[in-house]
Amino acid sequence: MTTCPHCHSPKIVKNGKSYHSKQNYKCRHCRRQAVEREPERLFSRDELLRGLLLERLSLRAIARLLKVSVGWLVPRVKALWQGAAERLPQGRLEETEVGLLCVEADEQWGFVGAKDCPVWLWLAMERRTGLVVGFHLGERDTEGAMGLWLSIPQKLREKALVFTDGLEAYGAVFAKGQHQPEGKRETTKMERLNNTLRQRCARLVRKTLSFSRSWENHRLAIRYFLYSYNLEKLAKMPSLL
Determine, yes or no, domain membership for 59.
Answer: yes
Has residue 98 got a pLDDT over 80? no
Residue 208 phi/psi, 5-degree rounding, is -90, 155
Answer yes or no: do 71 and 104 share one domain.
Answer: no
Answer yes or no: do 202 and 236 share one domain.
Answer: yes
Range of the domain at 49: 45-83
**Res. 51 pLDDT band, cuts 50 70 90:** very high
**pLDDT score of 136:** 96
Task: Give the rounded percent of residues in the chain with a pLDDT score beyond 70.
Answer: 97
Helices (H) and strands (E) in the chain, counts: 8, 8
Determine, yes or no, domain membership for 233.
Answer: yes
**pLDDT score of 41:** 64
**pLDDT score of 42:** 60
**Res. 148 pLDDT band, cuts 50 70 90:** very high
Q: Which of 54-68, 143-157, 204-218 has the lowest mean pLDDT?
A: 204-218
Burial of 204 (0-12, 13-18, 19+ CB in 10 A): buried
Q: Which of 222, 231, 216, 229 is nearest to 201 (CA)?
A: 222
Query: CA separation (Å) from 239 to 92, 105, 124, 149?
Result: 8, 25, 22, 26
Q: Judge contact between 45 and 38, C-beta under 8 A.
A: no
**pLDDT score of 7:** 92
Answer yes or no: do 76 and 151 share one domain.
Answer: no
**pLDDT score of 22:** 86
- How far apart CA 126 and CA 101 sit, in angstroms, is 7
Answer yes or no: do 108 and 220 share one domain.
Answer: yes
Burial of 229 (0-12, 13-18, 19+ CB in 10 A): buried
User: For 141-235, where are the E strands, in sequence order?
Assistant: 160-163, 179-180
Has residue 17 got a pLDDT over 80? yes
**Domain count along the chain:** 3
Determine, yes or no, domain membership for 117.
Answer: yes
In this predicted model, which residue has the larger pLDDT, 21 or 56?
Answer: 56
Answer yes or no: do 65 and 180 share one domain.
Answer: no
Answer yes or no: do 230 and 202 share one domain.
Answer: yes
Most trustworthy range by pLDDT among 15-19, 21-25, 174-178, 223-227? 223-227
- How far apart CA 212 and CA 68 sit, in angstroms, is 20
Determine, yes or no, domain membership for 27.
Answer: yes
Has residue 1 got a pLDDT over 80? no
- Mean pLDDT for the stretch of residues 37-65: 86
Answer yes or no: do 120 and 166 share one domain.
Answer: yes
Answer yes or no: do 226 and 193 share one domain.
Answer: yes
- Mean pLDDT for the stretch of residues 70-79: 94
Answer yes or no: do 195 and 219 share one domain.
Answer: yes
**pLDDT score of 116:** 84
- How far apart CA 72 and CA 66 sit, in angstroms, is 11
Answer yes or no: do 166 and 56 share one domain.
Answer: no
User: Exposed e or buried b for every residue in 97-113, given b needs 16+ CB within 10 A?
Assistant: eeeebbbbbbbbebbbe
Answer yes or no: do 75 and 145 share one domain.
Answer: no
Write down the pTM of the prediction. 0.80
Determine, yes or no, domain membership for 88.
Answer: no
Determine, yes or no, domain membership for 3.
Answer: yes
- How far apart CA 46 and CA 114 sit, in angstroms, is 31
